[in-house]
Amino acid sequence: MKCEMCDFSKEIQHKIFETTYWVVNISNNQGYLGRSVVILKRHAGDLIELKPAEWKDLMKLIKKMEAALRKSFGATMFNWTCLMNNAYKKNPPNPHVHLHFIPRYNHKVKFGDIMFEDPEFAHFFNRERKISVSADVEQQIISKIKETWGV
Amino acid sequence: MKCEMCDFSKEIQHKIFETTYWVVNISNNQGYLGRSVVILKRHAGDLIELKPAEWKDLMKLIKKMEAALRKSFGATMFNWTCLMNNAYKKNPPNPHVHLHFIPRYNHKVKFGDIMFEDPEFAHFFNRERKISVSADVEQQIISKIKETWGV
């Protein structure tokens, strides 16, 4: 069965980083600068299916991601979600574990000639806040994050 | 500094379960039946501060919770979020790690004379979907979940 997350995890042009078990791809929605998706490299449908090594690796990855976004763009704090709703639009559902990483900012950040804002800071993120950046700016964002990754 | 999550973690009338490092309390909003909050027992403000034993314990807890909700109320799948936005309304912020557990249902469930519905199933959860249940029904929900907890 076709899996969008398996496909997305292989789209290397969007990749920020990968570990043994996870790939981090930049989200196509940069409404929150640095928004990313953390995708399990193998097809498994629920958090309860994670193996201890995958879970342990995720913890390390979270630390690296948060540190990198603080350093690269001065992110203030982070929202994490693990939802998998879309996969249940199909019958049978075919979910694939992934997490959404939404950096939040108590200040504006100008990058690539775009002013990124978070007027809902300290509140639930605004699902209507969508910014599509050019492939060029996307690569600049990835490069900027990678500069600070794991440092 | 006052911490609402420290306080909430000690409100034993809402407790479903606890492990060495985490407490699970039923949410006061039962818009999604079995909605709960998983609270770290010590005051720490970010996922990156979790110790390996706390992280490992969380994985076991997630497995138990999902299994229990499938058995008790037939939950179909689960949304997890770790946000901590509210803590940043104050200056300085004083966040305390907690996760929101939102069981999702592809069917209606009648319990305690209340019909719980999830018309947005397979879509983002509806933040306006709020049900306050009586203390009596809350205890019935807790009991029903505990019956299947860890089985």
Distance CA B108, CA A127 (A): 26
Neighbouring residues of A128: CB distance < 8 A, sequence distance ≥ 6: none
Instruction: Kindly compute the dihedral angle of the four CA atoms of residues A63, A65, A67, A71, in this order, to the nearest 10 degrees.
Output: 180
Size of interface A-B (CB pairs under 8 A): 96
Looking at the predicted structure, is the pLDDT value of residue B86 above 80? yes
Query: How far does A77 lie from chain B, in Å, by closest CA?
Result: 8
Element (H, E) at A57: helix A52-73
CB contact under 8 A, A81 and B84: no
Higher pLDDT, A151 or B103: B103
**Chain B, nearest residue to A89 by Cα:** B122
Statement: residue A151 has pLDDT above 60: no
Is it the case that residue B150 has pLDDT exceeding 80? Answer: no
pLDDT in tens, B89-119: 999 999 999 999 999 999 999 999 999 999 9
Q: Are A117 and A30 in contact (CB under 8 A)?
A: no
Which pLDDT belongs to residue A80? 98
Which residues from B are below 8 Å from A127, CB to CB?
Answer: 124
Residues B80, A76: C-beta atoms closer than 8 Å = no
Nearest to A67 by CA among B46, B20, B137, B93: B46
| Chain A: closest CA distance from residue B105 (Å) | 10
Residue B126: pLDDT over 90: yes
Q: What is the pLDDT of residues A38-93, one digit of tens each?
A: 999 999 999 999 999 999 999 999 999 999 999 999 999 999 999 999 999 999 99
Three-state secondary structure call for residue A107:
coil
Q: Which two tokens stand for residue B138?
A: 């809350």
Task: Point out the residue among A62, A77, A80 whose CB comes nearest to the CB of B81.
Answer: A80
Q: Which residues of B75-112 are buried (b: 16+ CB within 10 A; e: fewer)?
A: bbbbbbbbbbbebbeeeebbbbbbbbbbbbbeeebebb
pLDDT level of residue A150 (50, 70, 90 thresholds): low
Which residue do the tokens 């069965």 mark?
A1
Q: Quick check: A131 pLDDT over 80?
A: yes
Beta bridge partners of B22: B40
Q: Smallest Cα–Cα separation from A102: which of A127, A133, A136, A134?
A: A127
pLDDT at B113: 93
Contacts of B21 in chain A (CB under 8 A): none
- Contact predicate A121/A106, CB 8 Å: yes
